[in-house]
Amino acid sequence: MLNQTILNATHRALGARMVDFGGWDMPINYGSQIDEHHAVRRDAGMFDVSHMTIVDVRGPRVREFLRHLLANNVDKLKVSGKALYSCMLNEQGGVIDDLIVYFIDESFFRVVVNASTRDKDLDWMARQGSRFGVTLTERRDYAMVAVQGPKARERVHGLLSAEGATRAAKLGKFVAADVDGLFVARTGYTGEDGYEIMVPEAEAVSFWSKLVAAGVKPCGLGARDTLRLEAGMNLYGQDMDETVSPWEAALAWTIALEPAERDFIGRAALVAQKSDGAAREMIGLVLDDKGVLRHGQRVITDKGDGEILSGSFSPTLGKSIAFARVPAGAADGALAVDIRGKALPVRAVKFPFVRDGQPCAGI
């Protein structure tokens, strides 16, 4: 039996095609997935992301705990509501999960982890947290809706109280606040502006319907995947997992080695790997020929084979793009991808591929 979000019947009534997504019965698309993608790039779209796992972490030593648990440094979080993206690593430096952590106050941080990794994440956090005396509370009483696109914020503001709209409008990027009983975070997974909004379950269906009425297009997880890939954002399980370090997953920017005395889990392994040099790296690829790069395809390089991680057709660019993991330095030589026995040439490019609705330079 698949898990269902509180919006399940709403999706079905809208004609969604439903799929098993990590044990959850979720909409992959409602109509054309490409139309949904463009709605987010050009106007406003929304996603039910209630399957994700919200965990409230409380206790007097919660900051100290997270300083130890995460590869990024929560000491960057000084103002209430500020958010940080981080990996949670094992001792070998492999990625257990990627997550967002919000600082609420010195005894309360809120963490959002992936749905498919829920059980192992909660186990790991509980095990590591016991000596810091923190309590973990999963917030299944919240649904979560991501409203994304250049018009997303103003559409949401129209549904808030006057005071709430003013407060939301002042939120900086990667900051959240309690607004009208909602937890409104200016974050996302599409490369567009917008909010991820936690809404009490009892109000979620009505909130979703008001957003539809305000002209926000319901979008499925298919569009969410092409949007985040264009935006250069990793997907856990596809682009990194416990056998891959952040160095090898283009996530060096999320590793805080300074200050040197912060002893976080995986630190020793990361430092060793940095001094030896990582054997593999994650790069962006563009296929100018016709065809679609897909997960698992072989990448042929001068330094040996690599593989496609996330790969898809990019609706904004009209051609295929991908992340690939290849031997270090391979991106300087010629690259090709084996698609059904044919070696098609591909170009290594910097990512994101698309930002704020526009193709990035060199793509």
* CA triple 207-144-238, angle to 5 deg: 145
As measured in angstroms, the least distance from the Cβ of 32 to other proteins is 5
Q: At what angle do helices 118-129 and 62-69 cross, to 10 degrees?
A: 120
Query: Segment contacting other proteins (CB under 8 A): 196-204, 257-265, 274-282, 290-298?
Result: 290-298
Mark 314-333 with x for binding to other proteins (rule: CB under 8 A) and - for no binding.
Answer: -x------------------
Q: Which of 17, 58, 262, 355 binds other proteins (CB under 8 A)?
A: 17
Query: Should residue 34 be labelled a site residue for other proteins when binding is judged by CB under 8 A?
Result: yes
Do the beta carbons of residue 197 and residue 48 sit within 8 Å? no
Query: Should residue 284 be labelled a site residue for other proteins when binding is judged by CB under 8 A?
Result: no
Q: Which of 2, 32, 166, 169 binds other proteins (CB under 8 A)?
A: 32
In one-letter notation, the amino acid at residue 301 is T
As measured in angstroms, the least distance from the Cβ of 295 to other proteins is 11
Q: Where are the alpha helices (DSSP H) in 71-213?
A: 118-129, 152-157, 162-169, 201-213
Query: Segment contacting other proteins (CB under 8 A): 24-32, 46-54, 119-127, 302-310?
Result: 24-32
Query: Should residue 190 be labelled a site residue for other proteins when binding is judged by CB under 8 A?
Result: no
Query: Should residue 269 be labelled a site residue for other proteins when binding is judged by CB under 8 A?
Result: no
Mark 294-313 with x for binding to other proteins (rule: CB under 8 A) and - for no binding.
Answer: x-----------------xx
Query: Should residue 254 be labelled a site residue for other proteins when binding is judged by CB under 8 A?
Result: no
Query: Should residue 14 be labelled a site residue for other proteins when binding is judged by CB under 8 A?
Result: no
As measured in angstroms, the least distance from the Cβ of 257 to other proteins is 39
Distance (Å, whole) CA 134 – CA 66: 10
Reported as type and span, the H/E element at residue 8 is: helix 8-13
Query: Should residue 29 be labelled a site residue for other proteins when binding is judged by CB under 8 A?
Result: yes
The token pair at 206 is: 């009505």
Question: Helices H, strands E: what count in the chain?
Answer: 9, 21
Query: Should residue 22 be labelled a site residue for other proteins when binding is judged by CB under 8 A?
Result: no
* DSSP, residue by residue, 220-280: -HHHHHHHHHHTT---BTTTB-TTS-GGGGT-GGG----STT---TTHHHHHHHHHH--SE
Query: Should residue 345 be labelled a site residue for other proteins when binding is judged by CB under 8 A?
Result: no
* DSSP, residue by residue, 26-82: EEEESS-HHHHHHHHHHS-EEEE-TTSEEEEEESTTHHHHHHHHBSS-GGG--STTB
What secondary structure letter does DSSP report for 297?
P
In one-letter notation, the amino acid at residue 248 is E
Q: Which of 45, 94, 188, 222 binds other proteins (CB under 8 A)?
A: 222
Query: Should residue 226 be labelled a site residue for other proteins when binding is judged by CB under 8 A?
Result: yes
217 vs 280, beta carbon nearer other proteins:
217
226 vs 245, beta carbon nearer other proteins:
226
Contacts with other proteins by CB under 8 A lie at 17, 28-29, 32-34, 222, 226, 290-292, 294, 312-313, 315, 340
